[in-house]
């Protein structure tokens, strides 16, 4: 009887551990993040692209479901040809469809699409412990860093999730991080990128501080050997 009680107790503890571990990987249901990278056709003048992106940034005032909308010119070291980035924040996933179907957005899509060569999407619910003011606090003038992860064939989903959960946990360890959101990519145009990251800093120089931080470097050494590719998008949001 004693051994049976011990078995039941151990089973209950094991179930609790499993539940806590799985909870760490569960995405938060709010907010929903939409990211997009723009690569325009060769020959489209920079001035025309800039004008279109300013027009896009101004949509925030016209589409109520947009809780935050950040557009900027990509200044990452390796742009892979993507000139501009967009980060949109919604209360729920369904609001992305509302935004996409909104007449103001549709009107602009008809202008942008004929000039685009390619796009790359990143849609996700943040994973891990959610502690964010994105969508509530204005981050105008801040520096935005977004990154898409494409892992090598053979790296298990569990291993990827473990690494991404570790990444999401860096916010509490690196003071220059004003925001850090990580999530599994649900975008239609994802081009094989399984996870996305969005970081917000006070200034551009803070990205270098973050990159060189021991906690970040320790995780980079784990992630890099498992990556098949990555795509960075760094920008200061433009004024609309």
Q: Domains in the chain, start-ordered, CATH in brackets?
A: 29-235 (3.30.70.100)
Pick the residue with more confidence: 138 or 218? 218
How many angstroms separate the Cα of 228 from the Cα of each of 24, 55, 150, 152, 153? 25, 35, 5, 5, 8
pLDDT in tens, 78-122: 888 999 999 999 999 999 999 999 999 999 999 999 999 999 999
pLDDT in tens, 14-64: 333 333 343 345 665 679 999 999 999 999 999 999 999 999 999 999 999
β partners of residue 233: 146
Torsion region of 59: left, alpha or beta (phi above 0 gives left; psi -120 to 50 gives alpha): alpha
Give the residue-averaged pLDDT of 143-148. Answer: 96
Nearest to 95 by CA among 146, 151, 37, 32: 32
pTM: 0.85
């Amino acid at each position: 009887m004693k051994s049976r009680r011990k078995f039941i107790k151990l089973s209950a503890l094991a179930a609790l551990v499993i539940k806590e571990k799985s909870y760490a990987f569960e995405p938060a249901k709010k907010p929903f993040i939409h990211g997009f990278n723009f690569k325009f056709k060769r020959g489209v003048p920079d001035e025309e692209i800039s004008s279109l992106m300013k027009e896009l940034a101004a949509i925030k005032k016209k589409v109520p479901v947009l809780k935050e909308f950040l557009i900027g010119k990509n200044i990452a070291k390796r742009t892979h040809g993507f000139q501009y980035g967009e980060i949109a924040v919604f209360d729920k996933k369904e609001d992305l469809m509302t935004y996409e179907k909104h007449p103001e957005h549709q009107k602009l899509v008809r202008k942008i699409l004929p000039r685009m060569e390619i796009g790359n999407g990143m849609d996700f619910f943040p994973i891990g412990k959610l502690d964010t003011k994105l969508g509530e606090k204005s981050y105008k003038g801040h520096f935005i860093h977004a990154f898409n992860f494409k892992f090598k064939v053979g790296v298990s989903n569990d291993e990827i999730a473990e690494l991404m959960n570790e990444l999401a946990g860096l916010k509490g360890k690196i003071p220059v991080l004003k925001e850090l959101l990580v999530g599994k990519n649900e975008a239609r145009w994802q081009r094989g990128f399984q996870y996305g990251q969005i970081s917000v800093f006070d200034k551009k120089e803070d990205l270098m501080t973050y990159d060189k931080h021991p906690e970040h470097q320790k995780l980079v050494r784990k992630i890099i050997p498992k990556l098949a590719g990555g795509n960075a998008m760094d920008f200061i949001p433009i004024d609309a």
